[in-house]
Structures are given as C-alpha cells and as structure tokens.
Chains A and B, each alone.
Chain A
Amino acid sequence: MSEISATHHHGSHAEGHSHAEPQIAARSRLLPSAVTADRGTLRTVSMGMMFVGAIVLVVLVILGFSAEGAGRQAIAAYHAGFLFCVGVALGCLGIQMILHQFNAGWSAAPRRTAEGIASLLPLCALLFVPVLVNALIGSDSTKLFKWMVPSYVAGDVLFEHKQGWLNVNFWIVRSAVYFGLWSMLALKLYQWSRKQDLSGDRWLTAKARRMSSYGLLIFALSSAFASFDWLMGLDFHWFSTMFGVYFFAGSVLSAICTIVLVLAMLSNAGKLKSVVTPEHFHDMGKMMLAFTVFWAYIAFCQYFLIWYSNIPEETAFYNLRQQGDWRYLSIFLVLGHFVVPFLVLLFRGVKRTPRLLAFVAAWLLIMHAVDLFYIVRPVIKESKLGERLIMDVFGIAGPALVFLGLAIRRVVSAPLIPLKDPRLHEALEHKNYV
C-alpha cells in the first residue's frame, strides 16, 4: 500500500508543476491507443465467453428434458440467470442516470462502460424468451410461475382476488412495456453519448441530464413492478412493499461491480492509463461499499419487519428459506453478500488497487447471483438444495456468460470513454484529497 501511494504521489506532484492548463494535460493522455481497445484479444475473450455460455445453455436444455421434474428446476435456475443479466444492465442504466442527475464530473471516465452495458437491454429481452416460452407452452408441471397453472390456483381465494393483475396476457404486456421503456432510455443515452464522440456537442450532456430526470421516475416504477412480476410473483400469495427497492439495491450493486470488473480488465490490458486512475477505482469502491450496506439495510429491514410481526401470510417467504439446507444458504448470503465484503471494502488500500477491487467485485457479482438464486430456486419444492446442482450452476452461468461476453464486446466496440464529454477534464483531474 505504501508503495502505491508513493508512486501515486510522485505522479500528481509532477502534474501540479508542469500543467497550468488542465485541458491540455487531459488531452495528452487521450491518445487513441489508450482510449480505444485492441479489438482482437478482448473480442476473442468475449466470443469465447459467449460460446461457452451457449454450450452451457444447450447442456441445460438437454438436462432439463432428461429427467422427470428437472424441467422446472432448469427454467428456475435459468430465470435467476436471466434476472442477473437484466439486473446488471438495468443497474447500469440507473447508475448513469443518477450520475447525470448529480452532475458528477468524476463519472465521465467510467460512464461509457455503464452506457455500453445498459444498451444491451434490448438484447436482454431475447434472454427473456425461454421464460416466456415456459409461460406460454410449458406443461403444467414445468411452469415456473404456479399461478399460471389453472389446476393449481382453482378455488384459491387470493388468486381470484388478484386475477386482474396475475393473468398471462397482462403479464406479457407488462414485460414488453418494461423492456420497451428501458430500451428506449438506454439506447437514447448511448446514442447521444456516441454522437457526442463525433460532434463534440456538449449540449447532448444537458439533454441526457434532462432525460435522466424523468427517466429515473420511469426506471423506479418499471423496475419495481418488474421485480413484482418476475420475482415476487413466483409465490403469488406473498407480498412485500419493499421488494422493488430490494431488487434495485442488488441490481445497482451488481452493475457497479461489473463496471469495476470491466475497467480493471481494460487497465490490465494496458488501456486507459491515467484516464481511469486509482482515484476512480477508489470512488467506485466507495460506491460498492455504499451499495453493499444499502442492500444489507434493505434486506435486513424486509426480513426484520416480517420476522417481528410474524404474520403467517408474510413469513411464508422466509419460513421456506429457513428450513432444511436453505438455512445454510441464508447464512452464507448474510456473510458473503454483506459481512465479508463490507469489512474488506472498509480498507482504503483495497479500493485503490484495481486488481483487489476487481476481485471483490467478482465476488459480489457471484453473491448477487446467489441472492437471486435464493429468491427463485426455493419455490421449486420438488427439488432440494444440492439436488442436480449442476443444473442450478449452468442455469445461472449460461445466460451470465453470454451476457458478460456481449457486454465486453459492446464496451470494446466503442471508445472506452466519452471522448468529448464536457466534464472529461474534471474526471481526469479527479482526486480524493482526504
């Protein structure tokens, strides 16, 4: 740690002396070789990831058809994986709109990664297709959402009450609306940012900021209802007003982790030298810490209020997850998703060392997947935890690998930073003084 701060100190020392005009200093770092990726290697990596992901998915399908009752487990695991991808992309959309709203100058450097990944949201709709197919033509025993099975809900008073909301047609329409809204926001922001690369029109930044204002409103409502439809609806008796916020917290955390991971990979490949610096990693590390705590806060409050009031219709959710082996997963989640990363991220040295931070980010991403798995998978009561574990792993890894491969491909296909962002010089000068 001391070595790092020492070298860093000399760097900033030199800058302080030699450049009176910050913009000139900024430009000399933006050499084409630093801000554009070598398409070769990283593309190979991304193609490899997508290829492996596709194979994994094929194996999953084969496994799903191989045994009685395996189909529902396969689609459940896949659903968790799908939500992982959507969560990352959606979190990237949310985080860039929040940064726009804060007029955050430092964020210009890491923002392009978020823009690139969020612009994959239309493709996430394709990942939704298997879930849709399951809902439309799946047999009663393989349908993921029990409320879609007429024989299962016959005579259920609560279901009859909710039928206006919980019917397949409306559910599909809503899902389409969510993807439509998100795609519109994400693509607009991405296009404007790329347009700015060419034209240098700084008013596009103002335009993006303006759209982010109502964009966040759309985002908040749509992501909350999407979480109700895709996650909470798995147990259609259960409800929690907090659930949308829970999904938001996890998604944004996973988005920040993905951005850190991608940027660390790029800087490992020798890109973005003195463009995305330890100062930026430090701030992103702080955001990881903040959202780790925020996720824990939301998760705790939701659990705690249900535990304390002890009303049967609500405790069903946690009851299921505190019985059998699921209990160990609950404890693992508390430790792995909160306690350990929280303690590790408290250290300044971790946040300022891209490799260490990337390691924590990867860990948190896995934990986010576990969190989604923990919400989705226990509803498949016919299969205990650990049974056909390979399917659970493949179900999450398949879409996640395809998606992350696409994400890398998208990021390296454009300049790695918004080249003409009017605040870029602020971002390049960025320093944490305290």
Chain B
Amino acid sequence: MSVIHPDQYTAGQLAGTIPVDRPQVIDKRAGDGTLIDDPAVRAPLVLNDRSFNDITETVCGYVEKKPGGWWWPVFGIANMLAAIGTAMIIYLLITGVGTWGLNNQVGWAWDITNFVFWIGIGHAGTLISAILCLLKQKWRTSINRAAEAMTIFAVICAGTFPAIHVGRIWFIWMVFPIPNANAIWPNFRSPLLWDVFAVSTYATVSALFWYMGMIPDFATLRDRAILRLKKNATGPMVMPFLSLRVDEVQARVYGLLSMGWRFSTRHWQNYEKAYLMLAGISTPLVLSVHSIVSFDFATSILPGWHTTIFPPYFVAGAIFGGFAMVLLLMIPARELYANMKDIITLRHLENMAKILLVTGMMVGFAYAMEFFMAWYSGNAFEADVFVYNRLLPPFLAQVGADGQLKYAPYWWAYWSMIFCNVVTPQVFWMRRFRTSPFWIFVVAFFVTIGMWFERFVIIVTSLHRAFLPGEWGMFFPTWVDILTFAGTVGIFLTLFLLFLRFLPAFAMSEIKNVMPQASPHKH
C-alpha cells in the first residue's frame, strides 16, 4: 500500500506535514462589521475594540449621568398610563367585575388574555439568561440583563390580572395553603392553583436570578461612587433641601445591594456554580410555567382548549412574544443611549430576528397540527370550533342546515393572529430584513400584537359558543377592559425606564468575560 489515501493526505495537511493554502474571502455585506458569514471567523461581540474600562464607563454612565432629554417625556407618558391603569383597577375593585365586558358565556376574556400575554413576554428573559447560558451562546451577555428585568416587570403585570379577576380580592389569600378557622384548604387538583404556585415561583426565581447577576455590577457602581467621594467629597446633592449627596447615596445603596462583593476568585467559583445551577433549574422552570398556564385550558374538555400540544406550543409562543418585546425595547434604547450600539450589535439583532423566525414557525407548526387533528380526530365539535368559530370570514360564509349563514364572528382576530405570527416573521428569511433594525422593530411590533390576539383567539373564540346553540354569545370589551390593559403597558414601561435609569442595564462582568482580551491565554 504505497498510495496515500486522500484522507491521510488531508490529515497530513492538518498535521502540518503537507502545506495548506486557505484564501481569506472578506464578506462585503458585513454591516457594522458583525454580520460576517464566514464560518472561519467569529463576529466580535463588542465593537470598536473596547477596553474593559470602556465597558465600565459606558454601562455605569447610563446610571451615573443624567439621561437624555427624551427620558422625562417618555417617563411621564408611561406614568400617566400606569396611573390610569391603577385607577381602573381601583374602580374595578370598588364596583366589581361587571365593569368588564364579561358575560355568562365568556367568563374569561381580556383579563386572562392579558395575563397569558404578559406572562409569555416574561419568558424571553429566562430563555436568554438560562437556556442560552446553558447553550453557551455568548451573545446573550449583551441583552440578558434587560431581558431579565423585563421578565420581572412582565410577571408583575401578569400577576395583576388573575388577582383582580377573582372579584372579591379580599379572599385572595385563600389560594395559599394557610390554616384558617373554617378549616378550608385549596384544591391541589385544580390547574388554577398550580398557576398560583407556578407564577409565584417563577417571579421569585427570576428575581433571584436577576439580583444575583447584578451583584458584581452593584459592586462596580459602589466602588466608583466611593472613588468619586474620595476625590471630591462635595458632589451634587440628591435634592436641594436634603443634605444627602448623590455619591454617598449610591455608595451606600449599591454597597448594601452588593453584599460586600469583592471580586474574589474563591467567590467567583461558588458564584459561577450557583449561576449555572440557577440557569439549569430555570430552564425546566420556564418550560413548566407556561405549560402550567396552558394546563388552565388544556385540562378542560372544551374544544379549542383541550389538545395535547398546548404545553410546548405555549412555551414556544411565550419565547416568541418575549423576544419581540425585548427587541421592541432594545432597538429604540440602542438608538437613544450613547455607545449602546457597540454592545448590541447588528449581529445580536440578527440572531434575535432568527429566533423570532424559528419560534414563529414553531407556533405555526402548532396551529397546523391543531387544524390537522381537528379534522383527523373526526370530532365534529373540534372541527366546528376551528372552522366556524375562528376561520371562516363572512365573505366565505356557508349556508348551514337551518338555512342561516354560518361564519366565524371572530374571524378578524384569527386572521390577525395568523398574519402577525406566521406571515410577518417570514420576511426574516431575507437577510436584508433581518439585519435592518427598522424592519426588525416593525415585525416585532406585529408579533407582539399577534401574540396578544393568539391568547384572545384561544380564550374567547373557544368560550363564546358552547356545545348548544342556546349557549352562544359574544364578547365585547368595555372601556375599563381597554384602559386596564393600557395601564399595565404603562406600569411595564415605567418600571423598565426606572431600571434603565438606576440599575446596571448590562451585565458588565459577563460582557468583559466574552471580550477577546479576557482570555488568560492571550498574549
């Protein structure tokens, strides 16, 4: 065997015994320099050759410097919406759930739609911080903090709805297993109780995860404030009539929050393990939470609600809606804040656009499966829900057995959902669209609307017509319904703006860790 096998030839090339030549092709479509298609080149995660200090200055600057002129007007509007929402909630609690458009037929409508909408949005935060962490997707470091913050705020908005929809809110404690004089205990066989445990666990664990990630960054803010104080003890005051200096307040508050973190390797070791474990446990948690939310519907026998694909389908939809919200928040933010484009590059946006495309298809896959099974099962009620409650628009109405026109009264909601969730993300097959912040923003906006409609379609169209035509009715929202939802948008935005103003919006220590100069083997 004197002939060299081609495999051995190439192996020899790799061993260095046979020379190799590999021409470098430069991708001219590289945008800001991160949209590299070349598989041999890894796109930089931070642009413009930033140093560690640049990252510290940039990220701490968002907290330490006064925000731009846009901040107060936006904050004012968000606050106003939040105030309206709060007023609506108070009005509801005083008057009763009759102020909403609910009726005998449709007992769940905007309240639970909004609940599922918000809790779904929360899932992207955990996905980015936990699942992408486990998958070692380093690009997550640029957006994980904001996404985690968004998770908490979305869960706050979500939790509001089930709490206020119970009607007599002063009995809300009954959802917890608390010993009481009547010896009444909650029903652990009810999906609604699982929801209580799932959502409260989710809120708690997300908050722990978020807080833990911020500890080193709090320490950075603390140390900077101390250094400023050492240099100049007469900095600006918090308010003219208070004898408190901003730096002093920062040093104390961030100091308290940082728990005395001092960046020790012995600490980092436990910290990283704990972080990984939180990521590991958050991943099944995030799956379980939206699965349990889907159980609210899927454990019933209602056509349109009861189907086995609901748990993973809800999870995919949650990630889909959540990523859209992250994009809706971060695309304007990176325009408004200085140097944020160095941290959130076009590559990051492209990756998120791809995730929108994938999760959008997963949702589309579930829609298709539901439709196929509605037919394949041979269950007439199931087929009816899909065709005559959701699908058929009036202009395609069919004449029923009783001579009346049959069409789906909520066809517009169904088709809005299909258009927004399945059709619009398809533009991301084209590179031009998925690398353009403008188009990503537009699609993310559609997706957010579509995901709200998805929950509306699932809840209202399935409920509004029960098995007997005598139980048919329609749902229309009242102004209280609409303003309460607008109010939660206000609460969400208010909290997010406060987060951008006062907390480290980026995980500095994690970003520094994925920069090339962080490698201990770099010379």
Q: Is chain B in direct contact with chain A in the complex (CB below 8 A)? A: yes
Contact surface of A with B, Cβ cutoff 8 Å: 16, 20, 24, 26-28, 30-32, 35-36, 101-106, 157-158, 161-162, 165, 197-198, 200, 202-203, 205-206, 209, 213, 216-217, 220-221, 224, 228, 239-245, 286, 290, 293, 297-298, 301-302, 304-306, 308-311, 313, 414-415, 419-420, 422-423, 433-434
Q: When chains A and B are docked, how far (Å) is the Cα of A197 from the Cα of B15? A: 14
Q: When chains A and B are docked, how far (Å) is the Cα of A309 from the Cα of B521? A: 58
List which B1-31 residues lie within 8 A (CB) of chain A: 5-8, 10-16, 20, 22, 25
Residues of B within 8 A of A423 (CB): 39-40
CB pair B11–A16 under 8 Å, yes or no, is: no
Given contacts A24-B16, A286-B134, contact A242 B309 (CB under 8 A): yes
Q: When chains A and B are docked, how far (Å) is the Cα of A241 from the Cα of B25? A: 46
Does B226 touch A at the CB level, under 8 Å? no
A-B contact pairs, 30 of them (CB 8 A): A16-B520, A26-B14, A30-B15, A32-B7, A32-B8, A36-B11, A101-B358, A102-B137, A103-B39, A104-B136, A158-B378, A162-B376, A203-B39, A239-B373, A240-B373, A241-B370, A242-B311, A242-B312, A245-B312, A297-B291, A298-B312, A301-B308, A301-B310, A301-B311, A311-B301, A313-B377, A415-B10, A419-B10, A419-B11, A434-B275
Name the 6 nearest CB pairs between A and B, nearest first. A422-B40, A241-B309, A242-B308, A32-B11, A205-B39, A30-B14
Place the interface of chain B in its size category: 35 or more
Residues of A within 8 A of B8 (CB): 32, 36
Candidates B13, B137, B369; contact of A244 at CB < 8 Å: B369
Q: From B292-300, B452-460, B464-472, give the one contacting chain A.
A: B292-300
Residues of B within 8 A of A24 (CB): 16
Does B228 touch A at the CB level, under 8 Å? no
CB pair A28–B16 under 8 Å, yes or no, is: yes
CB pair A198–B272 under 8 Å, yes or no, is: no
CB pair A305–B134 under 8 Å, yes or no, is: no
CB pair A309–B300 under 8 Å, yes or no, is: yes
Residues of B within 8 A of A419 (CB): 7, 10-11, 14
Scoring B39, B312, B358 by chain A CB atoms within 10 A of each residue's CB, the highest score goes to B39
Given contacts A198-B10, A241-B373, contact A313 B379 (CB under 8 A): yes
Nearest A residue to B308, CB-CB: A242
Q: Mark B223-249, 1 if CB is under 8 A from A, else 0.
A: 000000000000000000000000000
Q: When chains A and B are docked, how far (Å) is the Cα of A20 from the Cα of B520? A: 11
Q: When chains A and B are docked, how far (Å) is the Cα of A217 from the Cα of B8? A: 37
Residues of A within 8 A of B376 (CB): 162, 165, 228, 239
Contact surface of B with A, Cβ cutoff 8 Å: 5-8, 10-16, 20, 22, 25, 37-40, 42, 134-137, 272-273, 275-276, 283-284, 287, 291, 295, 298-301, 306-312, 358, 361, 365-366, 368-370, 373, 376-379, 429, 520-521, 523
Residues of B within 8 A of A301 (CB): 291, 308, 310-312
Residues of A within 8 A of B14 (CB): 26-27, 30, 419-420
Q: When chains A and B are docked, how far (Å) is the Cα of A310 from the Cα of B298? A: 12
CB pair A102–B135 under 8 Å, yes or no, is: yes
Q: When chains A and B are docked, how far (Å) is the Cα of A240 from the Cα of B370? A: 9
Nearest B residue to A100, CB-CB: B39
Residues of A within 8 A of B13 (CB): 200, 420
CB pair B20–A200 under 8 Å, yes or no, is: yes
Candidates A198, A206, A298, A310; contact of B39 at CB < 8 Å: A206
CB pair A31–B273 under 8 Å, yes or no, is: no
Candidates B6, B39, B370; contact of A202 at CB < 8 Å: B39
Residues of B within 8 A of A103 (CB): 39
CB pair B11–A30 under 8 Å, yes or no, is: yes
Candidates A35, A220, A245; contact of B11 at CB < 8 Å: A35
Scoring A157, A202, A414, A434 by chain B CB atoms within 10 A of each residue's CB, the highest score goes to A434
Candidates A35, A106, A240, A433; contact of B308 at CB < 8 Å: A240
Distance to closest chain A CB from B283 (angstroms): 8
Residues of B within 8 A of A433 (CB): 272
Given contacts A102-B137, A206-B38, A297-B287, contact A28 B15 (CB under 8 A): yes
CB pair B15–A305 under 8 Å, yes or no, is: no
Q: When chains A and B are docked, how far (Å) is the Cα of A423 from the Cα of B429? A: 24
CB pair B378–A157 under 8 Å, yes or no, is: yes
Q: When chains A and B are docked, how far (Å) is the Cα of A198 from the Cα of B361? A: 36
Residues of B within 8 A of A243 (CB): 308
Given contacts A20-B523, A200-B20, A297-B287, contact A217 B361 (CB under 8 A): yes
